[in-house]
Structure 1
């Protein structure tokens, strides 16, 4: 027989609504990351959350509604949190490292956060209708990098003739490469070590030799 959730119908009586909702979101983040939007089902999410399918429907009217709320929540956890943390940094490298550090912190709390953001970018190409401008994680990270580069040009850290569009896209590629690594390849400890190496690389210190 197929595996089914062990709880009875509706919301679990001992759980608060907010806690149940968060449990559904966390389970859905894992399922969407592993299966993709098309293959993910409310039944799979219910099993992962140890709830019934009607319980999922009680909180979310459709898969699309659930998915878009999940995109918004995960963007807030990772992209917006990274941009906020970078506000107090004073150099381009430190701003980028602060941004990545927020992703590392989110990854420590929920291993599926980075993986979900990467798959969400792919899903936005397959399903443009899922892509809402205010929740576009790729565009939000691009805007952050653009801001960071502009700040560095204004402060004199970067040359005024810097090719801003190309530099921004290169750094966006680096950030999303790190996100892919965090979500599908390494762990948070490895990501911290890699971030430190990236910092040395961007500071042009990897090839310095001690006298």
Structure 2
């Protein structure tokens, strides 16, 4: 009896995938690359290493993303679309600056609990932009667009009388610092992240650092 034919592809990484697998493979590449970049930044992994983790050849990876920079920028775009899509949905459900910003904080915590690599990657991007001029040039417009999202929230507060017009720029800077702290400082620990979110809410509502009356 002749031996059963062996599978010549068994144990080998995939080359260029069929069209039916293309979307799933691209999604897997983005997820694995996000986790790798979130841990060590842009310089931590090569495309060859990322391809091996995905289970494809380096050549197949280049079928999806022409360079490591292209992959990094695609991960960034994917993260921003997810995070700010959720933020937009959250703020549209409530009225007023305080309610909207608290909705953003709650959404940020939920996302961080579901996948800590999201916030970790956002934090790494700030460092990578300082170290790599090509990343800074590619993402500068996106950073300005993100700032614009929160500036609009502050302007809603000014228009509604929740924020004094003279305090507008101070509130904008407060928000920037708060968001940096959440992503860079406590995103790795969901308990501390939740505590940080609660403390920010209490500070904003005047319930944490109010001057005690003697």
Task: Tell me the TM-score range normalised by the shorter chain.
Answer: 0.7 to 0.9
1:113 alignment partner, one of 91, 112, 118: 118
The whole-number CA distance in structure 1 between the counterparts of 2:69 and 2:19 is 28
Partner residue in 2 for 1:101: 106
**RMSD after superposition:** 2.6
Q: Distance in 2 between matches of 1:179 and 1:139?
A: 18
Structure 2 distance, partners of 1:109, 1:14, is 30
In the alignment, is the contact (CA less than 8 A) between 1:79 and 1:103 conserved in 2? no
Partner residue, 1:176:
180
Cα–Cα, structure 1 residues 8 and 161, in superposed 2: closer, same or farther, change >3 Å?
A: closer
TM-score (norm 2): 0.80
Task: Indicate the SS of the match to 1:16.
Answer: helix
Cα distance, 1:144 vs structure 2: 2.0
CA distance in 2, matches of 1:47, 1:116: 21
Per the alignment, do residues 40 and 101 of structure 1 end up closer, same or farther by CA in structure 2, a change over 3 Å counting? Answer: same
For 1:109 and 1:10, locate their aligned partners in 2 and report how far apart those are by CA, in whole Å: 32
Scaled by the length of structure 1, the TM-score of the pair is 0.81
Residue aligned with 1:206, SS = coil
Further displaced range: 84-93 or 12-21:
12-21
Unaligned segments of structure 1, at least 5 residues: 1-5
Alignment of 1:154-173 (within 5 A): 154-162=159-167, 164-173=168-177
Residue 32 of structure 1 pairs with residue 34 of structure 2: no
Task: Using the TM superposition, give the Cα deviation of residue 173 of structure 1 relative to its aligned residue in structure 2, in angstroms.
Answer: 0.8
Render the CA deviation track for 1:58-77: whole Å, top value 9, x for unaligned.
Answer: 21111111111111111111
The 8 Å contact of residues 42 and 63 in structure 1, kept in 2 or not, is answered as yes
CA distance in 2, matches of 1:27, 1:48: 8
Aligned to 1:206: 208
